[in-house]
Chains A and B, each alone.
Chain A
Amino acid sequence: MQKNRVYVNAYESLSCAGNTVELMEAIYAKKSAITIDTSYMSEHKAGLGSFAPNEFFSSLRSVTQAVLDKSNLENFNNTLLIVGSSVGGIGKSEQIFFKEKSYKNINPKEHAISVISDTLNREFSFSDSRSISTACTSSANAMMLAQRLIGLGAYENVLVVGADALCYTTVCGFQALGVLSTQQCTPFQEGREGMNVAEAVAALLVQNVQRDESIELCGSGGSSDAFHMTNPDPEAGGAIACMQKAIEDAGLQASDIDYVNAHGTGTQANDAVEALAVETLFTHNPPLSSTKAITGHTLGAAGALEAIIACEVIKQQRIAPQCSLTEADNKNVNLPLDATDKKINYVISNSFAFGGNNTAVIFGALK
């Protein structure tokens, strides 16, 4: 079956670093937006990425409206919505349970992942919607589905929304796993402490038509580690496999990739395995960096947020430097310390999740 070309034509985001323009300024200035918090765990400090005082659901609507305003569409009535989220409405359920010690006033529909698509459907009347929840690859997988559906000609327009709010379950849960950093995270740094949990809303309009500002969504690939529920395969088999599949899907060679936007959570396990995967697959040693040093790990929203960063890197033809790095753990990978102008045709964006769920997505400059 012949594949149509697929384009990212409009996007917007809100993270602890602000909107997309502010986010890219922070990335290039290496200015982390993580704050040190004790409100979730009074006995433990944690670096978190909050977009307060913005409220989550109103931000969801405003970011989506901003994408519509930037698009060639009058409305989303002929657009499929694909949401990627890992926590959905758990935050509201937590608040009710903590206050009332009962589930009685929890609305199951407001607890579920689908509360996000329900909220957006009420406001924007999409032609159809679906929600993907594969933990931290949720919205990367939503991007992959969007590419495949438009590639096959099943849809003309797909809006991908990655959205996750901070909540007690994730902050305290990652603390229980012993992977939270008490400071701003330091991806790929020797002796790194761990990750920063964060929140974001990121939306991208993916279409079958090319515009002047388009970035091509060239390829995607997924894999499973089949190794452990939380630890990645130490031989990086799953990470390599998803990147190889994405490269093959895009009709490229590994040597065509000009920049790798890493999953790069800042945990010992993830960064060691991801650096090994990049070192093994990309023998031309392309620049590699993790923008989670700026935004924190936005969980199910990360794939969409970092897709926007990949598009911006291509538009600005400027590599995102690695913030908070003084001594690299793996010295065989190319971690740029400064924002540098460079000819950038292709960017690969990695996302990895609990359960050994791996996804890579490739974006390209228009030819």
Chain B
Amino acid sequence: MKMNFIVKSTAIVSADTKCESLDEKRIVPKMMLRRRLTRASRIMVYLADTCDFRDGAVVYGSAYGEMQATADIVGAIDANEPISPTAFQNSVYNTAPSYFSLLHKNKNEILTVSSGDDTSRNVLQTGALQALVSHKEVLLVCSEAINIAKIEEVNRCTDYLESGVALTLVSTDANANVDVQENEHKGYAPSLWAMLDVIDACQEKSECIIALEL
């Protein structure tokens, strides 16, 4: 079943190693909260801020989740050292959108998708469903933050150790006015590609309406 959605805003960020200009001090003024944010959380709140989104349902996606926290936990167990409670609480896949909800006191539904290379395609599908159900603007974010020591031992999927893409959707009865083409987005993790396709398709449109499969 395909339904139509207005893409209200979009945002992209990427870096070979670390995104340096995420404007954290302005976006997250409380130092205690800012210090606890994972890299994926910093990317998430930056992208949401760029989309000017604070309140509403969120669908977040990541193929590999919170790599630094996971590496810290497994490393500590292997070294027979204490595990940081903060590392454990930050290791779940919904960490980034949860910090976003804390920051903005957003009490709406949060869903996190992790479907390997299909992650952002599934984020689009799930976000479309949530926009239909909530009748409100929904934030979709997909990011990978894999800048951890020795990642080169396993990284075969991306040139950007930190990257993220975001867009906001609202449902509409109007017809789609762009055709989203599937493309290879060299350098980016495949888990981001489907959302990058949408952003490419919407680049030249003042009001971009896309059809999405639920």
Contacts and interface: CB of A to CB of B under 8 A. Distances in A.
Interface of A: 1, 86, 88, 90, 93-94, 97-98, 101-104, 106, 108-109, 111-114, 117-118, 129-135, 141, 145, 148-149, 152-154, 168-169, 172-178, 222-230, 237-238, 241, 353-357
9 contacts: A130-B122, A133-B114, A134-B94, A148-B129, A172-B77, A177-B89, A224-B110, A354-B94, A356-B101
Contact of A227 (B102, B108, B110): B102
Q: Is the interface of A mostly helix, strand, loop or mixed?
A: mixed
B74 A229 contact: no
A277 B11 CA distance: 38
Given A112-B114, A130-B113, A131-B114, A355 B153 contact: no
Nearest to A129: B115
Contacts of A97: 74, 78
A101 B153 CA distance: 12
A132 B77 contact: no
B14 interface: no
Given A135-B94, A169-B73, A229-B89, A224 B132 contact: no
B107 A224 contact: yes
Interface in B99-154: 99, 101-102, 104-116, 118-119, 122, 125-126, 129, 132-133, 150-151, 153-154
Given A108-B64, A353-B94, 16 more contacts: A101-B78, A103-B151, A106-B153, A108-B157, A114-B116, A134-B111, A135-B92, A149-B214, A168-B74, A169-B88, A225-B107, A229-B90, A229-B98, A237-B107, A354-B98, A355-B97
Q: Which of B82, B102, B151, B157 has the most chain A CB atoms closer than 10 A to its own CB?
A: B102
Contacts of A112: 63-65, 114, 116
Contact of A145 (B65, B126, B157): B126
B84 interface: yes
A251 to B, nearest CB: 15
Contacts of B115: 113-114, 117, 129-131
Interface string B141-182: 000000000110110110000000000000000000000000
A146 to B, nearest CB: 11
B37 to A, nearest CB: 11
Interface in B57-71: 63-65, 70
B95 A355 contact: yes
B65 A169 contact: no
Interface residues of B, number: 55
Contacts of A104: 153-154
B93 A223 contact: no
B194 to A, nearest CB: 12
Contacts of B15: none
Interface of B: 1, 36, 63-65, 70, 73-74, 77-78, 82-85, 88-95, 97-99, 101-102, 104-116, 118-119, 122, 125-126, 129, 132-133, 150-151, 153-154, 156-157, 214
Contacts of A225: 101, 107
Nearest to B130: A148
Contact of A130 (B78, B125, B132, B156): B125
A145 B123 CA distance: 12
Given A90-B70, A133-B114, A357 B94 contact: yes
Contacts of A353: 92, 94
Contact of B107 (A135, A176, A238): A238
B65 A113 contact: yes
A72 B40 CA distance: 43
Given A103-B153, A222-B109, A356-B98, A86 B93 contact: yes
A81 to B, nearest CB: 10
B107 A241 contact: yes
Contacts of A117: 115
A94 B74 CA distance: 7
Most A Cβ at <10 Å: residue of B90, B132, B154: B154
B139 to A, nearest CB: 13
B1 A174 contact: no
B77 A94 contact: yes
A168 B41 CA distance: 25
Contact of B113 (A102, A131, A355): A131
Contacts of A357: 94, 98, 110
A360 to B, nearest CB: 12
B107 A145 contact: no
A132 B1 contact: no
A324 to B, nearest CB: 26
A228 B65 CA distance: 20
A147 B162 CA distance: 35
A357 to B, nearest CB: 6
Nearest to B93: A133
A176 B88 contact: yes
Given A86-B93, A113-B114, A176 B84 contact: yes
Given A154-B1, A357-B98, A133 B112 contact: yes
A114 B63 contact: yes
